[in-house]
Every structure is written in structure tokens, then in C-alpha cells.
């Protein structure tokens, strides 16, 4: 299924029509080939071929019928004798997926040239498989590379390069998909986090009629201390399993991860916990500090608001819940029974340590200021 051909001709191209092109005399085989997959959108192919050049003008016909090549991206580089072998011009025959290089050579010579081009419909995906231990503090981290070639071109053997890691040799046929283990740093540390965002989840499960799951995520730091940190991790589908302690595994969940630069953390949302519950209520919401205009109309006021939440951990293990609350505009905290940090002006983050089988009451009494109706 090889559609891409290079034909070396011995006589000069004298006419502009395709029919005027002369006969093939040699079909140089592809030698070293690089498939560069370091760009997330387009793949660069670099292939070397040895041309048997005559003294004087030579023409090399390069055609790619049925192969998804960007014609403007095709380049030819002379490797062995750059001083005596010169690319003079490039011609495109009409109505064909082809071009003709006109090459001048000072003498008859075997010349290695490197042809490079952008090839579409060939790419790579990255997937992750994580197997957590029973305590969920470590994961066996593996990353697979999935090569997909639907470009129209077969590659019998090529050097495959990514934006990280070492290059490796692989062939891949047209319409073939190959999955191979690429990264296997072994056991690395993981943190399990539970997050209740008051803007995203129902406040009172009783009114939902079913369970309100608290999203659970695994957080993995891309650092050298954690066995990673050599390069940014590509985004991809991550499937998380857990060792069941009996020689098998269960699936915990899957997520699409974002690219993770070195030093940052990969967050994988695996599922929802129904063993931690948050029942949140607004116990007070009144207007105070009313200010009026001369007609007696209210032009400015504050609010007096009280939010409470009952947080229960029904698990027999401790957990850390990140509780996220939102207060818009200008506000003052009157009283709050738990410490928080500000994510931004209106987002409050509470890190709450929940003991096994425990219950905590959360209370936040605040005023929003200078509200204009």
C-alpha cells in the first residue's frame, strides 16, 4: 500500500506538461526514516534516500498519490556533498500529487538526500493505566503510546520520536494502530481528595431523591521526587484500577487528563463517594443597613447571611474534604467556625479533616456589602 514514490530521471525536463516528463531509471529505496510526533497536531516525516546522480542536471520526481502530505511542506536536503550538489528548482506538474526537483551535480555521485514533509492522519495518543494499592497511597503508573497511521503510507521500519523520552524503532502500516508501553516508572505516590463545591452540587440530598456523590480525585505530582518529573506528561485517557488484595483488580474510574508540565500535578476524577455526605442550608438571608434616597427608596444595603452544613464521614477511614464556598461581590466574614483560604475574591476553600465515622458542623455567618438593588 505504498503510494509515495521517488523516481530519479536522467534527462532534463523541457516541457511544463506532465506528459513531457521522462522515464524512470531508478527507484531509490527509503533508507533511514524518522517519524516525529512531537507536535500535537501535525507529524513530520524525515526520510533519507540515496540518489545516483549524473554529472549535470538531474530530475527527481516525488509523488504522493493517496497520501495526506502538505505539498508546501516538502523539503529536500543534500547530505553528503552540499557544496557540489545543488537543488535548482521545484516544479509541480498539473493535476498530480507530485513535484519534480531539478538537481545539479558537479560529478556523477551517489548522494544521500533527506526528504521531509508534513504528513497528516498519522499521530499518537497517550493513555495511562494506574493501579492503586489497597491503601490508595501509591499507584503503579504506566503510560502507553498508541500510534495511529491512516496517512495512506506504510512505514516498514522507522525511528519514532516524541517530545520526550528516547526514540524507538517501529514499523507501522497504513490503517494500523499499535499500542506499546512507553513509560513505566513503577510505584509513585498519590493523594486522594474529596471535593464538595457548593456551586456545583445540590445542597440538600433529601430534595434530590437519591444520593449526592462527592467527587473523588487522585492527584499525582509530576516531580522527580515522585519518580516522574523528567518531562511534561501529555494529556490522555487515564484508567485507574485498584489492587483488590486477592491478586486481582477492580476499575476505580477513568478521566481525560490535561497536559501536566514538570512540577505540576495530574488530577484524575475517578468517581463519586456516597460515604461522605454534605447537607448544606441557608439559615438566614436578610437585608440590613438599609440606605434610602430622598424619595425613601432603597439605594444601598448589606445582607446578613448564615450558611450551615452538616458533614458526615460514614467511612471507617479518615478523609480530607475540600469544601468550596462562594460569596460574590464585597463581603465581610462575621463568624466562621473553620479556617479557609481564598482561591479568589469570591471563592473560599476549606480543608476539612474528617475522622473515620465522624460528623462535623460547619457554619459561616457573613455580610455582603453595599449592594445596589
Partner 1 sequence: MKRTATILVTAALCGAAQAKVDLVTIPTRDTVQLTIYNSADMTLVREQRDLTLKEGDNKLQFSWENTLIDPTSLEMIPKANADRIDIQDLVYPPRVNNLGLWNVNSRISGKSPVEISYLTSGLSWRAFYMGTLSPDETSLRLQGYVRVTNNSGEDYENAQVRLIVGQVHLIDQIAQLAQQQPPYGRPGEITLDYYSYDSGAIERPKMKLSKPSSRIVKSIALDEAPKEIVKEGLSEYFLYTIEGTETIPNTWSKRLPSFDVSEIPVKNLYKYEEDRYGMQTRRFLSFTNDTDHALGETPIPGGAMKVYRSTGENEHLAYEGQSNFKYIPVGEKVELDLGGVQDVIVEPKLMKVATGNFRFNNEGNVSGWDTTYDFRIEVRNTRNVPVKVEIKRNFHTPYWTLEKAGDFGTFEKDDSDTVKFTLELPAESVKTFTYTLTTRLGENRF
Kindly state the smallest distance separating residue 285's Cβ from partner 1, in Å: 5
Helix, strand, or coil (residue 58): strand
Q: Which of 157, 357, 363, 370 binds partner 1 (CB under 8 A)?
A: 357
Residues 213-252 that bind partner 1 (CB under 8 A): 213, 215-216, 237, 239, 242, 244, 248-252
Contact status: 255 vs partner 1 (CB under 8 A): yes
d(CA 227, CA 217): 20
Residues 107-136 that bind partner 1 (CB under 8 A): 120-123, 125, 127, 129, 132, 134, 136
**CB burial of residue 152 (10 Å; 0-12, 13-18, 19+):** buried
Q: Which residues pair with 282 in a beta bridge?
A: 307
Helix, strand, or coil (residue 165): coil
Q: Which stretch binds partner 1 (CB under 8 A): 14-22, 100-108, 294-302, 328-336?
A: 294-302
Residues 4-33 that bind partner 1 (CB under 8 A): none
Contact status: 176 vs partner 1 (CB under 8 A): yes
Residues 188-217 that bind partner 1 (CB under 8 A): 207, 209-211, 213, 215-216
Kindly state the smallest distance separating residue 296's Cβ from partner 1, in Å: 5
Output the CA–CA distances (angstroms, integers) from residue 311 to 14, 279, 363, in the order listed.
Answer: 85, 7, 11
Stretch (H or E) spanning 204: none
Q: Of 77 and 310, which has the nearer Cβ to partner 1?
A: 310
Q: Which residues pair with 360 in a beta bridge?
A: 311
Contact status: 285 vs partner 1 (CB under 8 A): yes
Helix, strand, or coil (residue 136): coil
Kindly state the smallest distance separating residue 180's Cβ from partner 1, in Å: 4
**Residue 101 backbone phi and psi in degrees, to 5:** -95, 135
**CB 62: neighbour CB atoms within 10 A?**
21
Q: Which of 16, 65, 179, 258 binds partner 1 (CB under 8 A)?
A: 179
Kindly state the smallest distance separating residue 27's Cβ from partner 1, in Å: 21
Q: Which of 146, 198, 324, 371 binds partner 1 (CB under 8 A)?
A: 146
Kindly state the smallest distance separating residue 193's Cβ from partner 1, in Å: 12
Contact status: 370 vs partner 1 (CB under 8 A): no
Contact 111, 54 (CB under 8 A): no
Kindly state the smallest distance separating residue 148's Cβ from partner 1, in Å: 6
Q: Which of 287, 337, 363, 370 binds partner 1 (CB under 8 A)?
A: 287
Q: Of 129 and 368, which has the nearer Cβ to partner 1?
A: 129
Contact 350, 322 (CB under 8 A): yes
SS3 string of 97-128? CEEEEEEEECCCEEEEEEEEEEECCEEEEEEE
Kindly state the smallest distance separating residue 314's Cβ from partner 1, in Å: 4
Nearest to 89, CA basis, from 199, 175, 18, 12: 12
As given in the structure block, the three cell numbers for residue 368 are 455582603
Amino acid at each position: 500500500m505504498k503510494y509515495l514514490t521517488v523516481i530519479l530521471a536522467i534527462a532534463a525536463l523541457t516541457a511544463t506538461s506532465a506528459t513531457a516528463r521522462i522515464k524512470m531509471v531508478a527507484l531509490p529505496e527509503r533508507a533511514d526514516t524518522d517519524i516525529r510526533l512531537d507536535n500535537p497536531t501535525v507529524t513530520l516525516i524525515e526520510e533519507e534516500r540515496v540518489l545516483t546522480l549524473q554529472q549535470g542536471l538531474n530530475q527527481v520526481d516525488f509523488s504522493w498519490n493517496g497520501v495526506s502530505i502538505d505539498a508546501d511542506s516538502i523539503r529536500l536536503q543534500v547530505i553528503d556533498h552540499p557544496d557540489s550538489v545543488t537543488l535548482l528548482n521545484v516544479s509541480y506538474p498539473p493535476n498530480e500529487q507530485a513535484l519534480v526537483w531539478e538537481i545539479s551535480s558537479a560529478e556523477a555521485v551517489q548522494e544521500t538526500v533527506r526528504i521531509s514533509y508534513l504528513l497528516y492522519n498519522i499521530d499518537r495518543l497517550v493513555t495511562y493505566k494506574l493501579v492503586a494499592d489497597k491503601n490508595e497511597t501509591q499507584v503503579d503508573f504506566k503510560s502507553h503510546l498508541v500510534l495511529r497511521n491512516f496517512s495512506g503510507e506504510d512505514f516498514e521500519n522507522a525511528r519514532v520520536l516524541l517530545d520526550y523520552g528516547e526514540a524507538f524503532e517501529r514499523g507501522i502500516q497504513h490503517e494500523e494502530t499499535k499500542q506499546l508501553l512507553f513509560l513505566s516508572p513503577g510505584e509513585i505516590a498519590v493523594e486522594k481528595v474529596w471535593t464538595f463545591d457548593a456551586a456545583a452540587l445540590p445542597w440538600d440530598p433529601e430534595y434530590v431523591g437519591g444520593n449526592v456523590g462527592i467527587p473523588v480525585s487522585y492527584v499525582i505530582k509530576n516531580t522527580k521526587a515522585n519518580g516522574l518529573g523528567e518531562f511534561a506528561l501529555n494529556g490522555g485517557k487515564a484508567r485507574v484500577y485498584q489492587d483488590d488484595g486477592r491478586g486481582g483488580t477492580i476499575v476505580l474510574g477513568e478521566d481525560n487528563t490535561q497536559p501536566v508540565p514538570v512540577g505540576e500535578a495530574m488530577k484524575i476524577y475517578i468517581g463519586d463517594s456516597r460515604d461522605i455526605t454534605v447537607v448544606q442550608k441557608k439559615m438566614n438571608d436578610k437585608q440590613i443597613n438599609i440606605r434610602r434616597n430622598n424619595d425613601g427608596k432603597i439605594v444601598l444595603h448589606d445582607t446578613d447571611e448564615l450558611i450551615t452544613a452538616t458533614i458526615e464521614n460514614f467511612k471507617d477511614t479518615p478523609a480530607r474534604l475540600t469544601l468550596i464556598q462562594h460569596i460574590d461581590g464585597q463581603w465581610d466574614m462575621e463568624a466562621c467556625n473553620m479556617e479557609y483560604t481564598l482561591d479568589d475574591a469570591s471563592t473560599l476553600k476549606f480543608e476539612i479533616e474528617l475522622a473515620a465515622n465522624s460528623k462535623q458542623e460547619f457554619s459561616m455567618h457573613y455580610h455582603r456589602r453595599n449592594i445596589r438593588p
